[in-house]
């Protein structure tokens, strides 16, 4: 299974244009979908909670975990990309309708191009944590930020979540000060205190210290143990 996933990821990464592939065999993507782009190293209860809350809060049909094979700031460390797909597939034991996908693009605006090409009839909302929200509006990732963001926000919404040290009101204030002409296309997705405090880094550090990782779903924990990840 991992060899097949790894081969598909290599082909995806070699694609010259924005592209996305799906790894599960779940239900078809609906008319609306909440997309959580992340490294999932590993997927935690926070990732699960973000997608479940977005679907429930905004009446969205489908939930997509979108693994990004490239990152605007860092390389691939920790679990391999194929193991990250494996963990996301294991998460489907708790989220049977979860679509597990990967894109060869680092920026959200380019991931959107890939998804629109693959699913032209679906309306995608992108779920982001506060750190990702800040990167979305960081000029260093663009030649002309407003010009490049305009077509993205014309078609998509962003659902921005709070974090442990950045509450929902803080996110609102940051958006009012920084989102400019795109503010009305961004909604704050308030999540619970415990998931808001979790991070994949905490899980990796616990495992590297030979401690139990309780912040992941049971299926993900089993996958990590069976493949001796992060130790």
Q: Which of 159, 170, 163, 160 is nearest to 196 (CA)?
A: 163
pLDDT at 210 over 90: no
pTM above 0.85, yes or no: yes
More confident residue, 75 or 44: 44
Q: What is the pLDDT of residues 111-147, one digit of tens each?
A: 999 999 999 999 999 999 999 999 999 999 999 999 9
CATH number of 2-226: 3.40.50.620
Query: Helix, strand, coil proportions of the chain in percent (round to 5)?
Result: 50, 15, 35
More confident residue, 167 or 212: 167
Return the pLDDT at 68: 86
pLDDT at 89 over 90: yes
Return the pLDDT at 177: 98
| The token pair that represents 167 in the structure block | 């509450």
Domain locations in the chain as residue ranges: 2-226
| The token pair that represents 74 in the structure block | 């860092």
Alpha carbons 218 and 169: distance in angstroms, whole number: 33
Q: Residue 128: phi, psi to the nearest 5? A: -135, 150
pLDDT at 72 over 90: no
Q: Give me the sheet containing 186-189, strands edge to edge.
A: 20-22, 99-103, 62-68, 32-38, 123-128, 157-161, 186-189
Mean pLDDT of 21-47: 96
Mean pLDDT of 200-216: 84
Alpha carbons 214 and 25: distance in angstroms, whole number: 28
Return the pLDDT at 206: 86
Question: In the chain, pLDDT over 90 holds for what percent of residues?
Answer: 86
Mean pLDDT of 169-197: 96
Return the pLDDT at 19: 96
């Amino acid at each position: 299974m991992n060899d097949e996933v790894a081969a598909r990821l290599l082909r995806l990464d070699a694609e010259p244009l924005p592209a996305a592939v799906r790894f599960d065999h779940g239900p078809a993507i609906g008319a609306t979908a909440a997309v959580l782009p992340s490294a999932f190293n590993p997927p935690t209860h926070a990732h699960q909670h973000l997608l479940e809350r977005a679907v429930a809060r905004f009446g969205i049909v489908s939930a997509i975990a979108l693994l990004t094979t490239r990152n605007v700031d860092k390389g691939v460390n920790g679990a391999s990309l194929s193991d990250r797909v494996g963990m996301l597939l294991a998460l489907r034991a708790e989220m049977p309708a979860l679509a597990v996908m990967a894109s060869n693009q680092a920026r959200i605006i380019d991931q959107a191009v890939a998804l629109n090409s693959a699913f032209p009839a679906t309306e995608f909302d992108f779920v982001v944590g506060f750190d990702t929200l800040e990167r979305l509006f960081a000029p260093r990732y663009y030649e002309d930020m407003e010009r490049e963001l305009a077509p993205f926000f014309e078609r998509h919404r962003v659902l921005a979540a709070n974090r442990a040290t950045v509450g929902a009101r803080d996110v609102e204030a940051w958006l009012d000060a920084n989102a400019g002409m795109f503010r009305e296309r961004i909604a704050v997705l308030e999540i619970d205190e415990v998931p808001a405090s979790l991070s994949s880094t905490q899980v990796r550090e616990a495992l590297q210290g030979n401690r139990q990782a309780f912040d992941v779903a049971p299926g993900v924990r089993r996958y990590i143990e069976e493949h001796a990840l992060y130790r």
